[in-house]
Amino acid sequence: MNNSVVELNNVYITKRLDRFLVVSSEFGTWITCNEDTVNILETFRNKKTFNAVFEKANIPREILISRIKEYFEKGLLKIDGRNRFNSIDVNSMVLKANPSPQLCILHVSNICNLSCKYCYAHTDKSEKSTMSLDVMQKSIDRFMELPTNSLTIEFHGGEPLMQYRKIALACEYANNLKNKYNKSVTFAMQSNMTFLNDEILDMLKKYKILIRISLDGLKDMNDNYRVDKEGRGSFDKIVNNTQTLVKNGIRPEVVSVVTKKNVDYLREIFEFFSSINLKRVRLMPFWVQGMGKEIDDDVVEPEYLADKYLELIAWIADHNRKIEDRNDHIKMLVLSKELEALHTFKRSFMCLRCPCGAGINMVDVSINGDIYPCEEMNEIAEFKIGNIRTHSIMDVLNNSKVVKELSERNPDNIEDCSVCAWKRHCQSGCANKNYQNFGSFETKSEKCQFYKKYFENLIWYLDSNRDALKYLV
């Protein structure tokens, strides 16, 4: 160590009271620390040998060596030109870990019984139709060809339950094929849950379909957006049907769109959900796409959204502290994946990666068999990459210019992102949303200011509430 040259990597440093946060701009690794630690790090702002620093430092030699090794391990210092991490080549890591899609989306209908004002689907420009059983089965044949041991087949719409009899037949068809192809198969569905009958209940239970329902909180909030063709609210039907699910042992997840109408009531929304035994909630900020272009003023300002999310996280931790049985804890879905990303290089949630899961972890099939990289890209003409009747999915993915562009996307190559300390955590946002907003995948996210404020203040919250983590994951 004596003559080793030590150098501080590019870092972002900020202070709160007597604590400091230091983040590696290259790796996204971070520490919270006191001023003494910052002073040690700053000593190596320009290259210096260990001996040169030790001679002037008022600190025992072994302690200084220990500190330097610790900060090297965190990616904050390099020693003799070498970093602890050779490189953060996210692209190659992601592609190697995900040789083919495992999540297979079937858009079984572009017809919906609701007319939600913010709907991101582009079906307002499409011929209204449903997927035939033949296309469902051909799609499943193609899914079975994928070189993976496990598949999740997820049914989307429109409203998929308008096709529930065909869905039941499709699930049976997949189950009959899985042993032949030596695969495990699970099923999922996104539904507005405005209608339910005994056949649907039997289907959900028989095929163990994980169901996500859309509900935007309390009645007035939900019914402002989620209305039927006559403009009538959907809240009462959704809640009644959801309670029927719960009574039958089916515990759905909830997806809530966050707008200016409900952003100030997130705690009350989670309290309500918890009171009706809905414990797993995903918040989805409203973004402008599809029918939502008519109400773009309802998008929440990014930094204000971050404030409200952080308030909610603190409430969730306090709420769960009082509940002994972890099964009764309320969960803010995606948060556990964000915490995972803050503490490791692991990115198990495809939307927290760059490249993301589009055409890598997932593939989407529309009602006529057209193939798209992601369900949010469904029926957007420029993202169509093939059709299941004429090509295998892997052939389509391997030869698609769109998928190639998505797989090469990297925040290091995006000018606004390349020097940002939070690029490893926001990963430049959603490729599709960036395209819809700015006409290109290669841009920073429209939620850039949200991510910067959110991740930084989430770390500060965890620093001052050391036991909170176990109540949030």
Q: Is the pLDDT of residue 416 over 80?
A: yes
Relative orientation angle of helices 401-408 and 90-97, to the nearest 10 degrees = 120
Q: Residues 151, 187: contact at Cβ < 8 Å?
A: no
The pLDDT of residue 411 is above 70: yes
Distance CA 181, CA 391 (A): 19
Determine what percent of the chain is predicted with pLDDT higher than 70. 98
Q: How many CA atoms lie within 13 A of 128 on its CB side?
A: 7
Q: Does the CA dihedral 276-280-286-290 come out positive or negative?
A: negative
User: Range with the lowest mean pLDDT among 109-123, 152-166, 239-253?
Assistant: 109-123
53 touches 6 (CB < 8 A):
yes
Q: Is the predicted pLDDT of residue 426 greater than 60, yes or no?
A: yes
In this prediction, residue 293 carries a pLDDT of 80
Q: Specify the pLDDT at position 472.
A: 96
Find out whether 41 and 57 touch, Cβ atoms under 8 Å.
no
Determine if residue 410 is left, alpha or beta; phi over 0 gives left, psi from -120 to 50 gives alpha, anything else beta.
Answer: beta
pLDDT tens-place string over residues 130-168: 999 999 999 999 999 999 999 999 999 999 999 999 999
Q: What mean pLDDT comes out for the span 55-79?
A: 90
Number of other CB atoms surrounding residue 58 within 10 Å: 6
Residue-level pLDDT at 56: 78
Q: What is the mean pLDDT of residues 111-138?
A: 85
What percent helix, strand, coil does the chain show, rounded to 5? 45, 15, 40
Residue 220 has pLDDT above 80, yes or no: yes
| 226-247 CB burial, b ≥16 within 10 A, e <16 | bbbeeeebbbebbbebbeebee
pLDDT of residue 97: 78
User: Do residues 75 and 24 make contact, with C-beta atoms less than 8 angstroms apart?
Assistant: yes
Average pLDDT rounded to a whole number, residues 243-255: 97
Single-letter amino acid, residue 47? K
In this predicted structure, the answer to whether residue 444 has a pLDDT above a threshold of 60 is yes
Pick the closest to residue 48 from 79, 85, 82 (CA basis): 79
CA distance 71 to 81: 14
- Does residue 124 register a pLDDT over 70? no
Are residues 393 and 142 in contact, defined by beta-carbon separation less than 8 angstroms? yes
CA–CA dist 285, 279 (Å, integer) = 19
Over residues 258-315, the pLDDT tens digits come to 999 999 999 999 999 999 999 999 999 998 877 778 888 999 999 999 999 999 999 9
- Ramachandran region of residue 379, left (φ > 0), alpha (ψ -120 to 50) or beta? left
Q: How far apart are CA 349 and CA 425, in angstroms?
A: 12
The candidate with the shortest Cα–Cα distance to 473, out of 324, 340, 321, is: 340
Which 8-state DSSP code applies to residue 147? Answer: S
Task: Give a three-class secondary structure readout of 36-94.
Answer: HHHHHHHHCCCCEEHHHHHCCCCCCHHHHHHHHHHHHHCCCEEECCECCCCCCCHHHHH
- pLDDT exceeds cutoff 90 at 252: yes
In the prediction, which pLDDT does 94 show? 74
Using an 8 Å Cβ cutoff, are 68 and 77 in contact? yes
Q: Quick one: how far is CA 243 from the chain centroid?
A: 27
Within 13 A of 342's CA, how many CA atoms are on the CB side?
Answer: 22
pLDDT at position 93 over 80? no
pLDDT higher than 70, residue 176: yes
Closest CA to 362 of 108, 92, 143: 143
Q: Is the pLDDT of residue 125 over 70?
A: no
pLDDT at residue 51 in the model: 85
Distance CA 402, CA 115 (A): 30
- The answer to which of 93-102, 189-198, 239-248, 386-395 has the lowest mean pLDDT is 93-102
Contacts of 270 (CB under 8 A, 6+ apart): 281, 312, 315, 316, 319, 330, 332
Average per-residue pLDDT in the chain? 93
Q: 72: closest CA among 41, 39, 32?
A: 41
Q: Kindly state the average pLDDT of the residues 161-184.
A: 97
Taking only the tens place, the pLDDT of each residue in 325-359 is: 999 999 999 999 999 989 988 888 899 888 999 99
Structure token pair of residue 143: 């899914």
**Residue 47 neighbours by CB under 8 Å, 6+ apart:** 5, 6, 7
pTM: 0.94
What's the Cα-to-Cα distance from 186 to each of 36, 70, 103, 118, 189, rounded to whole Å? 52, 43, 10, 30, 11
Q: Would you say residue 119 has pLDDT above 70?
A: yes
Backbone angles phi, psi at 458, to 5 degrees: -65, -40
User: SS3 for 143?
Assistant: helix
CA–CA gap between residue 353 and residue 374 (Å, rounded): 14
Whether residue 200 has pLDDT greater than 90: yes
Query: Whole-angstrom distance between the N-terminal and C-terminal Cα of the chain?
Result: 40
Interval 34-38 mean pLDDT: 95
Joined tokens for residue 3: 């003559």
